[in-house]
């Protein structure tokens, strides 16, 4: 069975600090996608990244970076020099690549609060 675990329920840091959100996943599939989404108070999901299981390269996009390690089944997300606007709930998610329906399994989310 597929499962995504985000052990950190809530994180609060002061603005400009770096913060890492952890994500550990379980799947029997050898081919899968991993995602990160941001959900601000408005509720709308904002897509941040999709990474397939073949590509373990780390990725950086501005202040955001992602560390994918298949050996530990982790896909962690780091925000550098955090800002108040980064405050939101962040979801890590997993889906199969080759299946009849690409279901997305979401983690429980991490609520990130950035204090001024």
Partner 1 sequence: GAVVSQHPSWVICKSGTSVKIECRSLDFQATTMFWYRQFPKQSLMLMATSNEGSKATYEQGVEKDKFLINHASLTLSTLTVTSAHPEDSSFYICSAEQDRQETQYFGPGTRLLVL
Residues in contact with partner 1 by the rule CB under 8 A:
33, 37, 42-45, 47, 50, 91, 95, 97, 101-109, 111
Q: Could you tell me the smallest distance in angstroms from the CB atom of residue 87 to partner 1?
A: 15
Question: To which residue do tokens 């941040």 refer?
Answer: 48
Q: Which is nearer to partner 1, 71 or 96 (CB)?
A: 96
Phi and psi based region of residue 5 (left: phi greater than 0; alpha: psi -120 to 50; beta: remaining): beta
Q: Which is nearer to partner 1, 81 or 97 (CB)?
A: 97
Q: Could you tell me the smallest distance in angstroms from the CB atom of residue 111 to partner 1?
A: 8
Q: Integer distance in angstroms from the first to the last C-alpha of the chain?
A: 41
Q: Could you tell me the smallest distance in angstroms from the CB atom of residue 80 to partner 1?
A: 26
The Cα 20–Cα 47 span in angstroms is 18
């Amino acid at each position: 069975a597929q499962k995504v675990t985000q052990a950190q329920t809530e994180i609060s840091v002061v603005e400009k600090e770096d913060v890492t959100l952890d994500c550990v996943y379980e799947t029997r599939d050898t081919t899968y996608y991993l995602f990160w989404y941001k959900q601000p108070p408005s509720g709308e999901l904002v897509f941040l990244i999709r990474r397939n299981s073949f590509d373990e390269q780390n990725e950086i996009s501005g202040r955001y970076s992602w560390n994918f390690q298949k050996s530990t089944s982790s896909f962690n997300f780091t925000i550098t020099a955090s800002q108040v606007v980064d405050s939101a709930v962040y979801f890590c998610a997993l889906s199969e690549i080759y299946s009849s329906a690409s279901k997305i399994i979401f983690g429980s989310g991490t609520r990130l609060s950035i204090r001024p």
